Amino acid sequence: MSIEHVLFGVFALLTVLSALMVIFAKSPISSAMSLVATFFFLAGIYVLLWAHTVAVMQVMVYAGAIMVLFLFVIMLLNLGESTQAGPRLTLPRVAGGAAAAGLLVVLVMAIWRVPSVNTFTGQQAVSGGFGTLARIGQTIFTQWLLPFEAVSLLLLVGMVGAVVVAKSRI
């Protein structure tokens, strides 16, 4: 057993635990902070996979910018503790729980069917330019140019829509 396997197990366990804290936290602020921890642990897994660029983007974009936006919205809406007496069993909660359990079963079955390969060290399949910004840019602007531009247009439409909605309330 190598240090990579140990670190992967630690990061995976901490990712799952912090993701569960996102779901079960009482306060929205605690939930958001647990989501930040989840993003950092995922970045650690990306580093173990030799995807350093993706790990840095994970920290800067998700743990940085997106979570600042989430925290700003939570504070702006003044979301406090809920005053419900206890958890209620409703149809959406039952359906969501059943869907999550079904996905867990499918994931376990898929992992069970993966053949065990003990000779892969992670270094063998990595090419010279894997994970570099040049390689990512080349792939985005050649193979994935149309979806990249479609996402850019979608984000622009979303920003214009947000400005129009905010302007009508001012």
pLDDT in tens, 17-34: 999 999 998 888 888 889
pLDDT number for residue 170: 55
Among 34, 95, 28, CA closest to 63: 34
Q: Shortest CA distance to 56 belongs to which of 37, 38, 39, 71? A: 39
Q: How far apart are the first and last CA of the chain?
A: 61
Report d(CA 39, CA 21) in Å as an integer.
13
Other beta carbons less than 10 A from residue 45's beta carbon: 19
Q: Which of 90, 77, 96 is nearest to 28 (CA)?
A: 77
For residue 110, how many other CB atoms are within 10 A of its CB?
9
Instruction: Quote the pTM value.
Output: 0.58
Q: What residues in the chain have per-residue pLDDT under 50?
A: none
For residues 22 and 140, the answer to whether their CB atoms sit within 8 Å is: no
